[in-house]
Amino acid sequence: MKVLITGANGQLGGALTASAPEGASLHTVDIDDCDLTDAGAIKELVEQAAPDLIVNAAAYTSVDKAEGDEAAARAINSGAVAALRQAHAGKLVHISTDFVFDGTSSRAYRPEDERRPISAYGRTKAEGEDHLAHGDILVRTAWVYTAGGVNFVRAMLRLMQEKPALGVVADQIGAPTWASDLARTIWALVAAEATGTFHHSDAGVASWYDFAVAIQEEALALGLLKKTIPITPIPTNAYPTPAARPAFSLLDCSKTRELLGDGHTHWRVNLRRMLEEEKNLV
């Protein structure tokens, strides 16, 4: 199976490459290899790679910057998906986000729930979803992190070393996602010849405050941090940002887990695994 992976240098792209199934022949590209805002360049890439499968892990993920340049976000998050879909006759796997929802639900969001994005990033990701064909796979995820990446976990580790105390938002609720488990789920959906929309995040529920507290505790246990600092829960309005965030964006992953028949690892277990990997990078 020949697989084209876009966004290969990102957190998920790296995890997909590392966990690719035996027999998969990978063609990996990132921003320096192909301008994903150029439909012609995408067409040429697909023709040259001639993949059986495309996994689109590329995205404009600067949520706050997108508020001031929605066109740039749309070019990657929607336009590139349309161009990939038009250039490729086979299956496309596309990765989307919890930000397509408005955060007002009283239960975890199901794949079929109505999308009501409240940010430029969310709008452009929702538009990208609409370019997929009937036989494709859409996987929504949230709060992705991995060892060595640019993410909340590594930002917290740095701040916990530099600051005497931290305030972390406690009224945004969801679940973290270790990129390695997300990648394994994507490959499993491909192997199962799945089609349609699926959700994947780690099991459990957390606020950003809960996540930060756990990061400190686990990092101290592993020796990645040398001291404890106070972490205070704060409301979203105490940390204003250009883009609105959904207050509740927990994803219902039951459809995914039932199809694959696998377990669902709690986010704290995966956090520990990631930090063990991070320790090996130090």
Catalytic positions: 121
* Local structure of 239: helix, strand or coil: coil
Report the C-alpha gap between 104 and 101 in whole angstroms.
8
CA dist list (Å): 159 to 45, 64, 192: 40, 20, 42
* Local structure of 177: helix, strand or coil: strand
Report the C-alpha gap between 2 and 40 in whole angstroms.
21
Enumerate the H helices of the chain as residue ranges.
11-18, 39-49, 63-68, 70-74, 80-87, 120-129, 152-162, 179-191, 208-222, 254-260, 267-281
* Local structure of 202: helix, strand or coil: coil
